[in-house]
Structures are given as structure tokens and as C-alpha cells.
Structure 1
Amino acid sequence: MNEQAQSGLAAKSDTATIPGAIAVASGKGGVGKTWLAITLAQALARNGERVVLFDGDLGLANVDIQLGLTPAIDLGTALERQLPLSRAATASSAGFDVIAGRSGSGGLANMPLHRLAILTTGLREVATLYDRVIIDLGAGIDRPVRLMAALCAIALVVANDEPTTLTDAYALIKMLTADQAPCRVGIVVNSAQDAAQGRQTYATLAKACNNFLKLDPPLLGIVRRDPKVKDAIRAQAPLLTRHPGSIAAQDVEALAGQIPLIDLT
């Protein structure tokens, strides 16, 4: 089965998004996507929401590493034993639950379509237990990335000012558009020197989307460059716990405040 046929089959299987689900995606690795997903999950949990963070990077999972967690059951184990995904949910000190992936597992990264369908069904079941599901997607435009993005009501595409990052972010948005994914796509500029540079980075990406895709994805947040982020990652501690007053923490909290507004539009 070719890629186009697989995408079409997935689209026919279930086109409804999961209410409250957010995909955090990037066309290229190394833009801080996983860190952003973790920090956003903590910010939403602090706002009183029941949040679960699903590590959807099926080949290079590392949410548990960044949080210093050692889950008794990870995603791979749950799938192998045919357990409900809720059995893999592990409470974190940051106030939200985590369904950890299995780093370096080629078996998950190359999951066939029927197993992906089982996984997405499991995610829908898990979503009934929470107010918010955040899916930290793998970087790129592969089938699992697009299929899980299509489950979500909102897809946050994370980019920075590097030209290759912008090119790959555009490619991801283009593929989601070609798939007719029902998620609302928004842009988050990470590691910006300041707000002005963040807006300039967004404008470059938005111009390409408008010129070639006739889309105007909104700018949902700018996260300024902050050395406290690297410190928190090294310490395997959530930023809002370790450095709650840092500028990056403030920016992600502002992003979290935008999410309910998107839900209502």
C-alpha cells in the first residue's frame, strides 16, 4: 500500500478529533518541542486541568528522561501486553500524568497501519479520563506523525529562526493540509532572541503558508531564549518547578492561557 492510500485509509477510519487534544509538532528535531510539550502540560495542569502527556515520538521517546521518570509500564509494554493505555499513565511531580514511549524502539517507529489504528483508539479512550491530552509528536512528516496530529483539535507547530527549521515546519503544515487534517494549526516560535525576532520568524513562515497554501496559521506564542531552560533539562526538572519566574516560564504560561480561547473559536 503506498503512502497516499495509507493516508486515505487512515482518514476514512475516523475523522473526528479528540476534544481538548493538542499535538506539539515540528518539521525538524532540535527546536525544543519535547521541552515545550512538558512545560505546556505543567502550565495547563496549574490552571486546574487534568492533563496527560503522551510521548508520541515512537522512535526517539524522551519525555520520561526529561522528567526523571521510571515508569513501570511504558507504551511498548502496554501494546505488547494489549493493556489499556491508561495502565501506562504515570503521575509526574509536575502535576500531570505521562504515558512514556520507548526510546530507540524501531518496532514502534515502524508500526504498521493496523497497529497505529489500535494506538489511536487507545488514545481516544484515555482522553475520556482527562480534560487535556497533549501529544509530543516525533519530528518530521512521517505517517505516524500526521495520523496522530489529525487526532488533535489543535496542532502547535514549533519553529525557530533557522532556515532549515522554517522549511521543515512549512513542509509539515503542507502535508497536514494535503491530508485534510481537521486540526487547527498554530505556530509557536521557540528560543527567540526577543519578541520582535519571534514575530519576524513567524512572519517568514506565515508568508510561505499564505503564498503557497493560502493559509494563515495564527501565531499562538513566542518563547524567548532563556538559559534557565537548559538548566532545567539537565536537572531533569520541569521549568515551572525549578525556575517558575523565568522568562521562558512566563511565555509558556501565556501560551497556556491562549489554549482555551482556541477551543472556543
Structure 2
Amino acid sequence: MSNGPQPTALRPLASSQAGSHPAGETEIIHNAIAVASGKGGVGKTWLSITLTHALANLGRKVVLLDGDLGLANIDIQLGITPHVDLGQVLEQQWPLERAITSYPDGGFDIVAGRSGSQTLANMPTHRLLNLSSGISSLGRTYDHVVIDLGAGIDRPVRYLATQSGRSIIVTTDEPTALTDAYAFIKLMRQQGAHSRIGVVVNMAASREDGMRTYETLAKACESFLQARPELLAVIQRDSKVKDSIRAQMPLLIRHPGSHAGNDVEILARRLANASS
């Protein structure tokens, strides 16, 4: 079993890549959970959906916002067609609540994105502030607002992550995923992130392998950033995840009791208890 890349493989990121917050930033949205990753393909959207579902199963009122307009696919993974999406809300400057779509099978609501749109990536500062205000408004209605951010480290992605009360960085044991996760954490700290930053290791061959992956990332952060991110969960690799995605059905409905589903349920209980 591979021990994964060593901490020295994670290079310090040049400070010139860090951007500044938009002027007049809004207050921290304490019950918002931003799910991010420096790299695509680590299961971030699947985790966002499953975590939202698990929180709803705990009796929490939850809304899941698809913050990845370029490659939005929450509605696709759930097999639903929303009447209004986030792209329309941003273009028409409507209240964010107008884009809420109920997902009764999971007991939660969603705000769908629009695949192929570059609205979020190129959003002017005032629109970005308005979006953050809209999310803050949702936070007064829901117990949790889960935000599935786009992969990468674009300015709007970093901004929404730092405005959220908690940020979850999703990674795997791939060297590129670890390097990009480290870069994301570094940029958030450079921008003075107030949110609690935690790591979820996804698609781990075992819990032990996942812990080794986390230690690789944590040691790099300790060496270069003098900070150690919290390990929130290790999610085991599970073939039932791909099956549920193909079926456009949440894992906790299609395969209740699966290994990956149980791991996410443990994560949900941890987050719910921390916010109580």
C-alpha cells in the first residue's frame, strides 16, 4: 500500500498568487459550510450532496448551493430540472431565494447552478458581495447552507470560502490533489480567512491510508504555514458511490449502510454537534 507523496513534494506557493478580498466584504456566514478543492475529480460535489443529505437526516434544515457555474452538476447528479438556477438569479439580480428547489426525496433544498456559464468566475465585485449577502439571508432561514464551490482557486471561490463559517478542503492521495489542497489552504490563510479549515480525505483505500494522506498534507502545512488543518473525516473508496451517481440517486437512498455513506454520516454528526 502506498504511503503517498512526501511533504517535500508540496511546494510553497508564491505570495503573488494571493488576491485580496473585495472591498466592503460582508460578515462571516457562520452556518455556511463551503466544500472546496484545489483540483477537480476528487469527489467534491458528491460529498456536498451526501453531506447535505446526512445533515437533513439528522433533522437539520439544509440548503445546498451549487457554486460551480462553469461545471454545475448537482441537479444532474440528483436527476432534477430546476425552474430557476443561480445563473438566472445573478443575471436578473433576483433574490437568491427565488432559485430554491425542493428535493423531497432527500429532505433538503438546492440552489442549482448553470453548467457552461462563466458568470461566477467573471463576477464583478458588487455582484459577488450581493451573492454573499443572499447566502447570508439563506443562513437566517436554514440550519446549514452547504456551498459546493468550483474546483480551483479563482477569486470568487476563495472569497466564498473565506466568508463561510467552515471550509472543507477535499483531497485524495494523488500528489496533484494534495499540492492543490495545500495551495488552497495557503491562499485562504493569506487572505485572513476566519473560517475553520478542515480536511476530508476522499476515496481512501482504508482509514489508515487516509490518515497517512492527511499527515502528508498536515506536515506540509506545519512546515510552510505554521498551522495544522483539522482532519474532519476519511471517506473510504466505495464502488457504490459510482453506482449511485450513474443512477442519479443519493448514496444514502440507493445504498444505505454503505461504507462511504457511513463515513459521511459520521462527518455530518460531527459538524452538527459542533454547531449546536
When normalised by structure 2's length, the TM-score is: 0.91
The residue that corresponds to 1:165 in the other structure is: 177
For 2:51, give the aligned amino acid: L
Query: How far, CA to CA, are the matches of 1:256 and 1:109 in structure 2?
Result: 29
The residue that corresponds to 2:8 in the other structure is: none
Which structure 1 residue ranges, 5 or more long, are not aligned? none
The percent of aligned pairs where both chains have the same amino acid is: 57
1:7 aligns with 2:13: no
1:244 aligns with 2:244: no
1:54 aligns with 2:65: yes
- State the 1:218 CA deviation: 1.1
- State the 1:200 CA deviation: 0.2
- State the 1:3 CA deviation: 7.8
- Give the alignment of 1:195-206 within 5 angstroms: 195-206=207-218
The residue that corresponds to 2:120 in the other structure is: 108
Other structure's SS at 2:169 match: strand
For 1:235, give the aligned amino acid: A
The residue that corresponds to 1:146 in the other structure is: 158
Alignment length, in residue pairs?
A: 260
Which structure 2 residue ranges, 5 or more long, are not aligned? 1-15
Other structure's SS at 2:213 match: helix
C-alpha offsets along residues 85-137 of structure 1, whole Å, 9 cap, x if unaligned?
11101011211100001101023331121211111111111211100000000
CA contact (8 A) 2:121 2:154 kept: no
Query: How far, CA to CA, are the matches of 1:117 and 1:214 in structure 2?
Result: 31
Q: Whose helix proportion is higher, 1 or 2?
A: 1
For 1:94, give the aligned amino acid: G
Deviates further, 78-87 or 235-244: 78-87
1:20 aligns with 2:31: yes
2:195 to 169, 183, 197: 183
CA contact (8 A) 2:244 2:250 kept: yes
Deviates further, 103-112 or 244-253: 103-112
The residue that corresponds to 1:34 in the other structure is: 45
Query: How far, CA to CA, are the matches of 2:184 and 2:239 in structure 1?
Result: 28
Q: After TM superposition, which residue ranges in structure 1, 4 or more long, deviate above 4 angstroms? A: none
- State the 1:76 CA deviation: 1.2
The residue that corresponds to 1:67 in the other structure is: 78
Other structure's SS at 2:120 match: helix
The residue that corresponds to 1:258 in the other structure is: 270
- Give the alignment of 1:66-145 within 5 angstroms: 66-92=77-103, 93-145=105-157
1:215 aligns with 2:198: no
For 2:82, give the aligned amino acid: P
For 1:183, give the aligned amino acid: S
Query: How far, CA to CA, are the matches of 1:87 and 1:69 in structure 2?
Result: 17
Q: Pairwise CA RMSD of aligned residues? A: 1.5
Query: How far, CA to CA, are the matches of 2:253 and 2:50 in structure 1?
Result: 10
Distance 1:8 1:90, change over 3 A: closer
